[in-house]
Structure 1
Amino acid sequence: MMSIVAILLVAAAAAVQAFPSLSARQSIMALTTSQIDSFTPYTYYASAGYCTNVQTLAWNCGTNCNANPGFKPVASGGNGDSVQYWFVGYDPTLDTVIVSHQGTNPSEILPLITDADFFLTSLDPTLFPGISSNIEVHNGFKDDQASTATDVLAAVESAMSTYGTTSVTLVGHSLGAAITLLDSVYLPLWLPEGTTFQTIGYGLPRVGNQAFADYVDAHVHLTHINNKEDPIPICPGMFMGFVHPAGEVHIEDSAEWAACSGQDNPSTQCIVGDVPEIWDGNESDHDGPYNGIEMGC
């Protein structure tokens, strides 16, 4: 199943092929109100990732849980410190398994993506069998995803079996979005053929190199939503070899949601053009609002 952004951008790509002179600006399309609203259940699931594992397992986390009252939790974990909170369950209305990972605030994620201690590294072949060693990712994000990978996989398998679904939707904000994107590469390697996936990330930092971005474009139905002048999505820098996959939606100051074609689209309607340097950003935009929803429990 194609994501909303994928459908829009397929149409845009066809237009560009028919008329090669069309600019990147002309290939950017505004989402309709109904398309924007369709993300709302997933936004609340991403926000619920900030709630404790006890709260999400009981599905008793206030507004975030109340927004999706039919959700059936299956498993949760993490400690909110050394291991990000996560939860897995089933949404009967959407008929999909939900996987959500906790994010963090800008003051905690910025050092992870701007200090000199991190580096690009290959994925663990035990967790990611058959993935080329040319595909490299942020070492910190890699370690965070590895710390919960097998538990999340077991929970997804249990949810799929219990509720008879073949659909998996992965969500997360900030650091949680980075972990979620790695899960989006990991889980399809282990789940049955015929399982369908979609991934929706909010305030996603760059996770890997060009080979990683190309792999994601070929294998993951990704939408990553950036709010206004959030500086997190432009980090780590492209000069360090990091590249965003396609699938960006940029919430502009006008409140328009712009579907941006390609990888790291330089248009000023997209995050790379709107926030060319980190000091051009506004950390307060990182948590939202995303169609009226602020991230956090």
Structure 2
Amino acid sequence: MFSPTLFTLFTLLPLALSAPLLGRGDDNENKTPTTPLSIGDLESKFLRSAQFTRVAYCSSKAVTNWQCGGPCDDIGKGVKVIQAGGDDGLVPMYFVAHDPTDNSIVVAHQGTDPFKLLSIVNDAEFLLKDLNTTLITSGKDKGIQVHDGFQDTFERTADEVLDAVKRGMNDFNTTKVHVSGHSLGAAIATLDSLMLKQQLDKSVGLTTTVFGMPRTGNQEFADFVDAMLGSSFTRITNQNDPVPRVPPQLIGYHHASGEVFIKSVDSNGQATDVVQCPGQENENCGTGNDLKITSIPNHLGPYFDDISFSEFACPL
């Protein structure tokens, strides 16, 4: 199965592979030792976010009615969908809902649809562009630039997401918000979280968990994510998934901190070796993978608890 996010990979692969010869900034490589993360901690912290992210691949109608087969069944009953939208193209599927298990508002974003040309176009617009400081005002005058196509996609739903989150928090009397996404949806989720961080009251507990996230902005963007979201931001990478390695650092892209790296998964779809990766672009984790040894299926999953991300788990 071919993910359109990988369109960018194969477009830029020669550049990425030649980066060391052209000076990738190896003198600043982060080789800080990793620390093990137990499977119990992995599931207790991130399973719910993975489950909601998987639901984001289902149709708006199925999500709104909470009749999306296994993905909805695994989460359970009582979820109230506040808003669901997207067209599987220029606007990837997303939804905002209330999770009764911890009285929180959930925002989840689908990744790119591998069978839709418009989604491929989103990923192909890989040039860096100034951050939209109308939506994320605290990023003004910081030299922050982000992926052109990712920001364009974020802008198409930003106002609706913000409105739905505010309505949900008011209707359900909660001050907790969880944001998640996979692939392109991971980039959108990160931009959403930066917007929500400044638009919501400081008392709001905001967490962000993303899966298979491509690089989304420049060094200044990575520093901004660290400063704004801190330890509440986690990006989970899976084995030899090449997507987190693109776009390459050679053309100015850089990951924020917060990586959790799944090193191996067994035949039952359960992670067996997981580490936390201190700092940005840790060479002991996804950044250190060899682009000549990649696995496209690793981008889709399974990540852990036999969770993969695609529309194939959803009812027709």
Fold match (TM-score > 0.5): yes
Verify: 1:282 aligned to 2:288, yes or no.
no
Equivalent AA in structure 1 for residue 190 of structure 2: L
Residue of 11, 26, 35 corresponding to 1:29? 35
Find the aligned partners of 2:297 and 2:165 in 1 and give their Cα distance. 33
Find the aligned partners of 1:235 and 1:82 in 2 and give their Cα distance. 20
Alpha-carbon contact 1:106-1:286 (below 8 Å) kept: no
Q: How does 1:63-142 map to 2 (within 5 A)?
A: 63-69=70-76, 70-104=78-112, 117-133=125-141, 134-142=143-151
Cross-structure match for 1:263: 280
Equivalent AA in structure 2 for residue 295 of structure 1: F
Cross-structure match for 2:24: none
Percent of aligned pairs with the same amino acid: 36
Instruction: Measure how far apart 1:82 and its partner are.
Output: 1.9
Alpha-carbon contact 1:53-1:76 (below 8 Å) kept: yes
Verify: 1:232 aligned to 2:243, yes or no.
yes
Cross-structure match for 2:171: 162
Q: 1:33 to 1:118 in 2, by over 3 A?
A: closer
Instruction: Measure how far apart 1:238 and its partner are.
Output: 0.7
Q: Name stretches of at least 5 consecutive residues in structure 2 with no aligned partner.
A: 1-29, 266-271
Verify: 1:248 aligned to 2:259, yes or no.
yes
- TM-score by structure 1 length? 0.85
Find the aligned partners of 2:273 and 2:112 in 1 and give their Cα distance. 26
Verify: 1:205 aligned to 2:214, yes or no.
yes
- TM-score by structure 2 length? 0.80
Cross-structure match for 1:294: 308
What SS does structure 2 have at the residue aligned with 1:42?
helix
Alpha-carbon contact 1:250-1:260 (below 8 Å) kept: yes
Verify: 1:146 aligned to 2:155, yes or no.
yes
Find the aligned partners of 1:294 and 1:105 in 2 and give their Cα distance. 14
Equivalent AA in structure 2 for residue 179 of structure 1: I
What SS does structure 2 have at the residue aligned with 1:280?
coil
Find the aligned partners of 2:184 and 2:173 in 1 and give their Cα distance. 30
Verify: 1:59 aligned to 2:66, yes or no.
yes
Equivalent AA in structure 1 for residue 259 of structure 2: E
What SS does structure 2 have at the residue aligned with 1:216?
helix
What SS does structure 1 have at the residue aligned with 2:257?
coil
What SS does structure 2 have at the residue aligned with 1:171?
strand
What SS does structure 1 have at the residue aligned with 2:283?
coil
Alpha-carbon contact 2:241-2:297 (below 8 Å) kept: yes
Equivalent AA in structure 1 for residue 163 of structure 2: A
Find the aligned partners of 2:149 and 2:61 in 1 and give their Cα distance. 26
Equivalent AA in structure 2 for residue 261 of structure 1: P
Instruction: Measure how far apart 1:136 and its partner are.
Output: 0.8
Find the aligned partners of 1:282 and 1:71 in 2 and give their Cα distance. 34
What SS does structure 1 have at the residue aligned with 2:138?
coil
Q: Name stretches of at least 5 consecutive residues in structure 1 with no aligned partner.
A: 1-22
Q: 1:110 to 1:203 in 2, by over 3 A?
A: farther
Equivalent AA in structure 1 for residue 56 of structure 2: G
Count of matched residue pairs: 268
What SS does structure 1 have at the residue aligned with 2:151?
helix
Find the aligned partners of 2:219 and 2:290 in 1 and give their Cα distance. 19
Q: Where does structure 1 differ by over 4 angstroms across 4 or more consecutive aligned residues?
A: 105-113
Residue of 180, 189, 196 corresponding to 2:189? 180
Alpha-carbon contact 1:231-1:286 (below 8 Å) kept: yes
Find the aligned partners of 2:74 and 2:226 in 1 and give their Cα distance. 31
What SS does structure 1 have at the residue aligned with 2:61?
helix
Alpha-carbon contact 2:89-2:113 (below 8 Å) kept: no
Q: Deviations over 1:156-186 (max 9, x none)?
A: 0111001111111000000110100110111
Instruction: Measure how far apart 1:105 and its partner are.
Output: 5.4
Q: Deviations over 1:173-208 (max 9, x none)?
A: 001101001101111221122111110000000000
Instruction: Measure how far apart 1:106 and its partner are.
Output: 6.6
Equivalent AA in structure 2 for residue 197 of structure 1: L
Alpha-carbon contact 1:106-1:232 (below 8 Å) kept: no
Alpha-carbon contact 2:122-2:153 (below 8 Å) kept: no
Alpha-carbon contact 2:197-2:228 (below 8 Å) kept: no
Alpha-carbon contact 2:260-2:276 (below 8 Å) kept: yes
Equivalent AA in structure 2 for residue 288 of structure 1: G
Find the aligned partners of 1:257 and 1:153 in 2 and give their Cα distance. 33
What SS does structure 2 have at the residue aligned with 1:189?
helix
